[in-house]
Amino acid sequence: MQAISLGKQVSSGEKRLNILHEASFTVHEGESLAIVGASGSGKSTLLGLLAGLDVPSQGTVMLNGVDLFLLDEDGRARLRGELAGFVFQSFQLLPALSALENVMLPLELQGAADAKPRAMKSLRDVGLADRSHHLPKHLSGGEQQRVALARAFVVKPKILFADEPTGNLDAETGSQVIDLMFELNRAQRTTLLLVTHDEALAGRCGRQLRLSGGRVVQG
């Protein structure tokens, strides 16, 4: 993956605010990169642009040899479905679906005929096979994030985008979830892009990209 002069501006009244200034860097296959910086430094904005969830004001992202922003929104969504997994602070599970159904969802969107057994294996990998038929509201925060990990890794993504994955968890539960995420990441040799304010967590990644005021100051 390569970010090329990536920038994002937004309007606030009559002013234009620079959220991200001309970020350029490369993330190599299999690398783990922590995106760090103070609150409001542009970390989540950068991650959203790298994943094609948001559109830059300038610059572009090359993902797997494809210019993300030469694609329309549907094209970017298809590429994400083929290449990427996501883990968010707020879990992003569908409340009306069981744990198993949530994990099956990205496989079903791909048209996989073996979605159910693959999803069950992914739940076993995160230690939740016995909770497969529970709705998210009947799972603890840590269990919900493990379901989210199972969903992210079930498609065997080339790249995992994780945005403050322990932000809604207590320290002990968060540590367990992070151990599991790195274990799955190593097992599948996935490229990891991780947004975090936790310096200890960032230190577990192979490299850190530090933002300050929307500018890359290290990395």
State pLDDT tens for residues 88-146.
Answer: 888 899 999 999 999 999 999 889 999 999 999 999 999 999 999 999 999 999 999 99
How sure is the predictor about 45, in pLDDT bands with cuts at 50, 70 and 90? very high
How sure is the predictor about 87, in pLDDT bands with cuts at 50, 70 and 90? very high
Architecture of domain 2-218: 3-Layer(aba) Sandwich (3.40)
Instruction: Give me the amino acid identity at 199.
Output: E
What's residue 123's pLDDT?
95
* Mean pLDDT, the chain, integer: 92
What's residue 43's pLDDT?
92
Are 150 and 104 a contacting pair, CB within 8 Å?
no
What's residue 161's pLDDT?
95
What's residue 202's pLDDT?
93
What's residue 143's pLDDT?
95
- Residue range 17-40: mean pLDDT, rounded: 92
What's residue 167's pLDDT?
84
Please check the confidence at residue 32 and state whether its pLDDT lies above 90: yes
pTM, two decimals, is: 0.91
